[in-house]
Structure 1
Amino acid sequence: MVAAQAQKHPDAVALRWPDGELSYRDLQTAIQRLAGHLAGTTRAALFNDRSPELAIAVLAVLSGGGSYVPLDNTYPRGRLDYMLADSGADRLLCRAHLANLITIPDGCELEILDPVLDDLHASDLPEWGAKSAPEDLAYISYTSGSTGRPKGVAMPHGALANLNSWQVANSGSTVGWNTLQLWPLSVDVSFQEIFGTWSSGGTLVLIEEDVRQDPRKLLAYIDEQQIHRAFLPFVSLHQVIEAAVQQDRYPASLREIITAGEQLQIGDSVRKFFTCTGATLENQYGTTETHVVTAEKLVGDPAAWPVLPSIGTAITNTVVKIVDGDMQPVSAGEVGEICIGGIAVADGYLNRPELTAERFRVWPGPNIPAYLTGDFGRLLPDGKIEFLGRRDTQVKINGSRVELGEVESQLRELPGVSDALVTVHPTASGQNVLAAHCVRIPGTEIEESVLRDGLSQVLPRHMVPAHYVVLDAFPFTPTGKVDRAALAQALPTV
């Protein structure tokens, strides 16, 4: 799909970063050259910082018929060493300054990426594009494991090709569109950013890490770089929106924002941002073990958007059902576990047959691969799916079910609050209470009594948090999600 765009639009800009850019012709040359160095590589670990070399390496590995293993250079060395050894990679690709930050096991060769962009006018390059079957492995993405050891999700080409085809058909991205490359390669959304852009002839725009982590800088970068499309986790999106409202700055170039990873919530600032930009907002859902499997695109007047949008309906060639403990579909409106089937399902966890057997199943009867997500949901009358949170974090306070998203949405409407998350806090007596973690608008002070009184006016008593923590910013995990464990450490002991 990328090769087709390179043939159609060789002079279009494929990749842009603060110090330069590459046309599709030069991108193809760089990929061909690196693929030649990687001849015979079965599995390549990519250990790199955000750079053009890293994006090139992804496609070079796949075009040579191999699979890749993304390793985040911000992870602790012990975790990196474990993942590299566990993955069975026969080649490690990185830039020279990172080579001594990871232990290279026996049987794994080091390939330095620094020369990739040198002399892009070379001739006699190998043909670009090895044949890959749908069942061939494309990447291994490591996710947290309940045992304390990361587990590698083995994702085949078929699932990713299906998602990419759907994404390209579902988006307006084309030649001249700029898509922000925000996510670390270790997070699967990066695959959508990279391939959804290069398969549509668009330009992938890299971002420096200090800009990525600062909402005000990120907003300015989106505006200055004329970004048309961005994939943003909801927390980051909300922070950018708050910065936009405070500065009255709404990037006119924005056409599409896709969000995933956290419960999407529509408040006044979100409505204002999308009214002013005219962009669409798409709520996507999926797991590392399936990538994206459902989507709900919000269009029209943002004033009419629901506070808690659904996660929509299944993408092409994917089956999503709400099931009971026997994997039988429940009736519409009943709460059950979200179960995903069809081409989207990964092959399982690398070297972890017990864990694979626990979560990866088959539908009773039709023998279709399926994955039990551990997420709760219910089927709405219009056929869309309402996401109801994790199975292992369902919240009941004094016997009543509480939707944390509703409390968070109300918190964000209170004076001085830029962002908010609500967690469950167990007391010494074994009861659960709610804790509110609020990010203040810069330069403001927030009194707990104001928060408590404000919520008491709009929520029933059991939904009003017992504890309040005011922060300057949320702590984040390396994958871009809020670090809820770190938030819990700031709570009082009761």
Structure 2
Amino acid sequence: MRALTLTARILEAPDPERVAVVCGDVALTYRTLLGLAADVALRLSAAGVAGEEPVAVLASRRPEFVIGALGTMLAGACFVPVDPDLSPARRDQLLAISRASKIVGPADSAVANILIDLTAPVSGCGCVDEATPNSLAYQLFTSGSTGVPKLVMIEHRSVCALLDGFERVAAAHGPVISTAVCPFSFDVSIWELFVALTNGGTVHILDGEAARQPNRLVGYIAKHGVNTAYVPPLALDMFVEESRSSSPLRRMLVGVEAIAQGTLQKLREKIPHLQIINGYGPTEVTICSTFFRSGRRRSPNVRCRSAGPWKVGRWRSSTTNWCRLRRVRSANC
């Protein structure tokens, strides 16, 4: 049975010299990533950070975010992604709601009162791991339907259950190479990062334009051998048009919005080996609570209703799902 914390799974990486994180020209091996994160953890502990204490990690699209988030979890605390480009008033509001009094991030950001500068030299101390399965791993904000920031707290065991559920639906069968295109303050980014890092794989952090320029995303996937990715709904149609049968992509997560069956059927026909997984559920249930996999080739004479929405699938393990019909009752969705 695998460990039930994100940190333990990352520490289990079989090859410390394998590249863990790529961002532009920067590549960090597992040895380097864990060394830098361990230093953050020790400095947080020295600053008096207690178990499950929220620590704000500036969510710029740089490897430093992964270092800060992992170091925070190694200290037994939970990370709170905070966009450094937010207005001071908005940022202060999120910090007050989350009660994150300590900030970790690069000193060259426009944020004052940074406790730990992630660009500073490290001490090279050994690794610690204070996380437990029931410890909070992270906190995220979701506005829901009110527009008011709502704080969601997620434990290590819940994220591990999500990752295990995804592997049961669409197993990797080899090293995972993933992309991260979502903002780090968005819950799907958790899957993008840890689907690779908890399996000894490599995550490629792309800039924010990649999601808005699907041709770039398709080209990057082909060039770097990416086999696991999330594609946002707004990019799907163009992503389908740009994709080729030679794509190395093997597993693709979609969701957030209802997606037409015809769109994904067309992608299946273009990349026959691709497994498409639709994830459904709110942030509160750890990104999604159901998975639906589409990976089997249909007969050319059998087609989906192109206008109909894609299925949400069956609930993943450790979740209970309720469907609200004309009469409220428990149902297997």
**Aligned counterpart in structure 1 of residue 31 of structure 2, from 25, 32, 47:** 25
The residue identity in structure 1 corresponding to 2:17 is D
Q: Does 1:276 align with 2:276?
A: no
Aligned position for 1:112: 117
After TM superposition, the structure 1 = structure 2 runs for residues 19-418 of structure 1, keeping only pairs within 5 Å, are 19-39=25-45, 40-41=48-49, 42-100=53-111, 110-115=115-120, 123=124, 125-134=125-134, 136-144=135-143, 146-173=145-172, 176-244=175-243, 249-267=244-262, 270-277=264-271, 278-290=273-285, 291-301=287-297, 304=302, 306-307=304-305, 308-323=309-324, 328-329=329-330, 385=333
The answer (yes or no) to whether the contact 1:264–1:309 under 8 Å persists in 2 is: yes
Q: Classify the secondary structure of the residue corresponding to 1:9.
A: coil
Deviation at 1:254, TM superposition (A): 0.7
Which string of whole-angstrom CA distances, capped at 9 and with x for unpartnered residues, describes residues 50-98 of structure 1? 1111012111111110011111235444322211122110211122232
8 Å CA contact 2:278, 2:292 repeated in 1: yes
| Residues 77/251 of structure 1: CA separation in 2 closer, same or farther (3 Å cut) | farther
From the superposition, tell whether residues 213 and 63 of structure 1 become closer, same or farther in structure 2 (CA, over 3 Å).
same
Displacement of 1:251 in angstroms is: 4.8
Amino acid at match of 2:129: G
1-side partners of 2:118 and 2:24: how far apart?
18
2:166–2:291 Cα contact (<8 Å) kept: no
Alpha carbons of 1:194 and 1:96: their partners in 2 closer, same or farther (altered >3 Å)?
Answer: same
Give yes or no for contact 1:63–1:128 (8 Å, CA) kept in 2.
yes
Normalized against structure 2, the TM-score is what?
Answer: 0.85
CA distance 1:251–1:236, shift in 2 (3 Å):
farther
Give, in whole Å, the separation in 2 of the partners of 1:216 and 1:83. Answer: 35
Distance (whole Å) between structure 2 residues aligned to residue 144 and residue 98 of structure 1: 25
Q: Deviations over 1:272-292 (max 9, x none)?
A: 432232211111101011121
Percent of paired sites with the same residue: 25
| Residue 14 (structure 1) aligns with | 20
Structure-2 change in CA distance of 1:322 and 1:176 (3 Å): closer
Answer yes or no: is the 8 Å Cα contact 1:5–1:199 preserved in 2.
Answer: yes
Contact in 2 for aligned 1:250/1:273 (Cα 8 Å) = no
Contact (CA 8 Å) 2:60, 2:84: kept in 1 or not?
yes
The secondary structure found in structure 1 opposite 2:108 is helix
- The amino acid across from 1:313 in the alignment is R
Deviation at 1:227, TM superposition (A): 0.9
Q: Say if 1:88 and 1:274 are closer, same or farther in 2 by CA, change over 3 A.
A: same
For residues 411-490 of structure 1, the aligned pairs below 5 Å read none
CA spacing shift, 1:179–1:148, aligned 2, 3 Å:
closer
Cα gap change, 1:301 to 1:256, in 2 (>3 Å): same
Larger RCO (CA under 8 A, 6+ residues apart): 2
Deviations 1:176-198 (A, max 9, x none): 33111111111111111222211
User: Is contact 1:298-1:305 (8 Å) kept?
Assistant: no
- Whole-angstrom CA distance in 1 between matches of 2:164 and 2:264: 29
Counterpart CA distance in 2 for 1:301 and 1:191 is 30
The Cα shift of 1:36 comes to 1.2
Higher strand proportion (structure 1 or 2): 1
**CA distance in structure 2 between the partners assigned to 1:163 and 1:305 by the alignment:** 31
2: CA distance between counterparts of 1:174 and 1:201? Answer: 13
Q: 1: CA distance between counterparts of 2:167 and 2:67?
A: 20
Contact 1:12 / 1:175 at 8 angstroms: preserved in 2? Answer: no
Deviation at 1:175, TM superposition (A): 5.3
> Is residue 257–residue 282 contact of structure 1 (8 Å, CA) maintained in 2?
yes
Instruction: State the one-letter code of the partner of 2:116.
Output: E
Once residues 305 and 51 of structure 1 are traced to their aligned partners in structure 2, the CA distance between those partners, rounded to angstroms, is: 43
Separation of aligned partners in 1, 2:108 and 2:66: 17
Query: Structure 2 regions of 5+ residues with no counterpart?
Result: none
* Map of 1:458 onto structure 2: none
* CA-based RMSD: 2.5
Secondary structure of the residue that 2:254 maps to in structure 1? strand
Quote the offset at 1:145 in angstroms.
5.2
Separation of aligned partners in 1, 2:312 and 2:164: 20
Query: Partner of 2:32: helix, strand, or coil?
Result: helix
User: Does the CA contact (< 8 Å) of 1:293 and 1:314 recur in 2?
Assistant: yes
TM-score (norm 1): 0.59
Q: 1:127 to 1:215 in 2, by over 3 A?
A: closer
Instruction: Tell me the CA shift for residue 261 of structure 1.
Output: 0.3
Q: In 2 relative to 1, CA 229–147 (structure 1 residues): closer, same or farther, beyond 3 Å?
A: closer
